[in-house]
Amino acid sequence: MVSGISYLSYLAQSYLFKRRGLLLTGILGGLYSSTAASVVIGKQARSASDTSIVSASLIAATTMMYLRLLVLIAALGHYQAALQLLTPFSIIVASSAVVTLVLYRQRKHAAHDRHIQASKHPLELPTALFFAAQFVFFAALTERVIQQFGAQGLHFLAFVVGLTDIDPFILSLLAGTFHTEPSLVMSAIMIASGSNNLLKAIYIAGLARNRSILPAFGWLIVSFLFSLGYVYFLQ
């Protein structure tokens, strides 16, 4: 399922939208990997003078991550988890869409869009094998952490995993038979996705090294804090 979504995004980037701007890169790249898309846009932002379009593109990439996760969780049959995530994810997606639209309308109209290279093919054998290895590793690690440390251990693991690749962790969490409450699964996904936003904020700040990413940086930090706040205070 993950590879299928990634492959469709790859095809769209490679063949349908070969000459695309930053915003479309964020939207399509977010379906593949919002972290990878943020890195690409962050590098482009080094020479960008238009703060609005850079930040709009970065926020769009992360917005697509939340939509992709929600569709993926529901498609795999975890309807209760999807329903529990619907409210916080909808808040993030709706607010992100508004901010993206406002920033996009404030953009400077460039004479032409930059050509941005498509992401790496998601179905290459090394990529697929690495994903499978991560899935097996996180499945075993998650089970051990839940057995030894319970909910707090899983929350800590989710935060740490969010600083890497969250898809294998989330899939292993959904596929596991850990005898945990659905609310614990939901909170782990919220923490992992929020932590991943913190990682992207650090990435883009280090890569861009200018003020073009400040709105996106601030939004990523706010979404990270919202994720933690929702788990510990609003859930």
- Nearest-10 crossing angle of helices 182-208, 166-175: 170
Q: Is the pLDDT of residue 128 over 80?
A: no
The domain locations on the chain are 2-108+125-234
Q: What band does 179 get if pLDDT is binned at 50, 70 and 90?
A: low
Q: Which position has the higher pLDDT, 86 or 32? A: 86
Mean pLDDT of 202-209: 91
User: Which has more confidence, 8 or 71?
Assistant: 71
- Whether residue 10 has pLDDT greater than 50: no
Higher pLDDT, 224 or 150: 224
- Judged by DSSP in three states, 119 sits in coil
User: Please, are residues 33 and 191 in contact by the beta-carbon 8 Å criterion?
Assistant: no
pLDDT of the residue at 178: 62
Tell me the average pLDDT across 219-225. Answer: 98
Closest CA to 166 of 143, 125, 201, 197: 197
Q: What is the mean pLDDT of residues 52-60?
A: 91
Give me the percent of the chain exceeding a pLDDT of 70: 77
Evaluate if pTM is beyond 0.75: yes
